[in-house]
A and B are shown apart, each in its own frame.
Chain A
Amino acid sequence: MISIDRLSKSFETARGTSHRALNSISLDVADGEFVSVLGPSGCGKSTLLYIVGGFVGPSEGAVRVKGAAVTGPGPDRGPVFQEFALFPWKTVLGNVMYGLIEQGVAKAAAEKRALSLIELVHLKGYENFYPKELSGGMKQRVAIARTLAYGPSILLMDEPFGALDAHTRTGMQHELLEIWERDRKTVLFVTHSVEEAVFLSDRVVVLTRSPGQIKDILRIDLPRPRRRAELLVDRRYQQYVVDIEKLMDNPAS
């Protein structure tokens, strides 16, 4: 489904020097797979996601989605950002409908689908609220509904719960898994939380410090559907978390 081939990215810095953010990343993500990209801050993990999204171009290498080279953004890859990036002049309903209208869906049909998605993310009753009137967790629910609305086959999630408090965060992780279990979209999920990555993912990709390279890829062999209360006391879950934390602490890459 997603095929990342020897991808590298360098940026021009303000001092005129070149900074290498990503170094020769190769990764294949299968259809319906939930893959997390984990790494220390500044390792280029978000950049990797932006390149897959087509928002940023690679310096070397290529990304293919369903065999076609990525040359720009497209509705087959729906992003969800840490900053929510909602349209503040639109209501909750207007935000969720936006992509559908953009895709040429008739207004009545778009509204119907948007309302069902708003219900899915537990925001029924907030249809006519503006983003400024919502809490961080609610904003991110709107952003997820807005992206799900136009039916992308791939979700690109860039630290989506990074700006939320710990309690909201674990709640959102559960909700995300519930939504994901319904149709098992392919998900590429960037995070710096080891527990979040293990809890959510089929595989966890650990990147090194800058320039980001793949340090290791771990398959998370835990049964689904997953429940936090059960996993926290599960030896295997604990072992994955400890192993990955050790891996990240180890400076030798």
Chain B
Amino acid sequence: MKNLSAIPGLPPLLATVGLLAAWEIAARVIDISGLPPAHEALRELPKILTDKESLLNILDSIRRMVIGFALALAFAIPVGLMMGRSRFVAAFFNPLLMIIYPVPKAALMPIIMLWLGVGDASKTLVIFLGVSLPVIYHSYQGARAVEEKMLWSAAAMGMGARARLLRIVLPAALPEIVVGIRTGLVLALITMVTSEMIARKQGVGDILFNALAMAQYETVYATIVIIGMLGFIIDVGFERLRAHMVAWAEPAHEIAVGST
């Protein structure tokens, strides 16, 4: 039995099969139209994924997510790093962040829609806000923890303050920054869907709510599965990238049994 966990991919596969089985059984037992059996929902998957309009909607969502996410990184990483290295910058941004942090970003959607309409700009801005906060926070923590002596060593080589931020603080804080980015990716997905549910024009969230309005419950569940898979693929992909980028920071080796 103990070797079961050694087979890669087996535990998650078992979990997935278990979940689907539970769903199937629950749907048959409860037997309401709001909970279709798993096999019926899954049968919708290829239909959605081969339907041109649905695909365009999904790609549209991903496009907004990528843009909002990229803008957030471009903004949040420099801000977080500067906050970590300058008390003045930290004191300036901290109160702003403290106010924005606990507000669900989707709750800002109505106001943002008043300014920017129901198009791309509003949704991208909400994604941007959602991603920015964890990335700022982790960049800030990472930059704060950079060893002073490391910066001094670079300064003695003749490196100026701005170059040190880019070439010493950024790489030194990278292991912490990528933790924020990983959280940011999940939040990008969440804000992407919620923004489309509020400002309904196109996108995955729109498919979801149209199907709900038309009582196509199989499509509703299939869409949720698609969103879940999208999140899973993004997370696994990023984890691989992360492991490669900060391999130098991982513990050198596992502690062997019996070693001192």
Binding site for B on A (CB under 8 A): 50, 53-55, 72-75, 77-79, 81, 83, 85-90, 98-99, 102-103, 130-133, 143, 146-147, 150, 152
In the complex, what residues of A have CB within 8 A of residue B171's CB?
87, 89
Chain B: which residue is nearest A101 at the CB level?
Answer: B157
Residue contact A85 to B153, C-beta cutoff 8 Å:
yes
Asked if A81 contacts B158 (CB within 8 A), the reply is no
The answer on a CB contact under 8 Å between B152 and A130 is: no
Instruction: Using CB atoms, name the residue of chain A closest to B174.
Output: A89
Given A85-B149, A88-B172, the answer on whether A77 and B156 have CB atoms closer than 8 Å is yes
Known contacts A87-B168, A89-B174, A89-B249: A79-B159 contact under CB 8 Å? no
Can you give 15 A-B contacts (C-beta < 8 A)?
A72-B155, A78-B156, A81-B152, A83-B147, A85-B147, A88-B248, A88-B249, A89-B249, A98-B154, A99-B157, A99-B158, A102-B154, A130-B248, A132-B248, A132-B249
CB of B251 within 8 Å of the partner chain: yes
Residues of B234-260 whose CB lies within 8 A of A: 246, 248-252
Write out the residue numbers on chain B whose beta carbons fall within 8 Å of the beta carbon of A147: 153, 156
A75 partner, pick from B150, B158, B174, beta carbons under 8 A: B158
A-B pairs under 8 A by CB, number: 72
Known: A132-B249, A133-B252. A74 touches B156 (CB 8 A): yes
CB closest chain-B residue, reference A76: B156
Judge whether B157 and A75 touch: CB under 8 Å: yes
Q: Is the CB of B152 within 8 A of A55?
A: yes
**In the complex, residue of chain B having the shortest beta-carbon distance to the beta carbon of A146:** B153
Residue of A nearest to B150 (CB): A85
Q: Is the interface of B mostly helix, strand, loop or mixed?
A: helix
C-alpha spacing A168/B154, complex, angstroms: 27
In the complex, what residue of chain B is closest to A87 when comparing beta carbons?
B150
Which residues of A have CB within 8 Å of B150? 85-87
Contacts of B250 in A (CB 8 A): 132
Bound CA–CA A73/B246 (angstroms): 29
A-B contacts besides A99-B157, A103-B158, A132-B249, 16 pairs, CB < 8 Å:
A50-B152, A54-B155, A73-B156, A77-B156, A83-B147, A83-B149, A85-B149, A88-B172, A89-B246, A89-B249, A90-B248, A102-B159, A103-B157, A132-B250, A132-B251, A143-B153
Which residues of chain A have C-beta atoms less than 8 A from B147's C-beta? Answer: 83, 85
A89's contact among B154, B158, B248, by CB below 8 Å, is which? B248
Does A102 contact B158, Cβ atoms closer than 8 Å? yes
Q: Given the complex, which residues of A lie within 8 Å of B159, measured CB to CB?
A: 102
**Known contacts A55-B152, A88-B172: A150-B157 contact under CB 8 Å:** yes
Task: Give the CA-CA distance A79 to B171 in the complex, in Å.
Answer: 21
The 5 closest A-B pairs by CB, nearest first: A85-B149, A73-B155, A99-B157, A102-B157, A81-B149
* B13 CB to nearest chain A CB (Å): 34
Is the pair B152, A53 in contact by a Cβ cutoff of 8 Å? yes
A-side contacts of B172, CB under 8 Å? 87-89
Report A76 CB to chain B, min CB distance, Å. 9
| A88 and B149 alpha carbons, distance in the complex (Å) | 13
A245 to B54, CA, bound (A): 82
Q: A83-B147, A87-B150, A87-B168 are in contact. Are A55 and B248 (CB under 8 A)?
A: no
Cα A98 to Cα B172 with chains together (Å) = 15
Chain B residues with CB under 8 A of A85: 147, 149-150, 152-153
**Cα separation A141 to B159 with both chains bound (whole Å):** 22
Residues of B within 8 A of A90 (CB): 248
Residues of B with C-beta under 8 A to A102:
154, 157-159
Please determine whether A79 and B156 come into contact, CB atoms closer than 8 angstroms: yes
Of residues 137 through 168 on chain B, the ones whose CB sits less than 8 Å from some CB of chain A are 147, 149-150, 152-159, 168
Distance in Å from the Cβ of A126 to the closest Cβ of chain B? Answer: 13
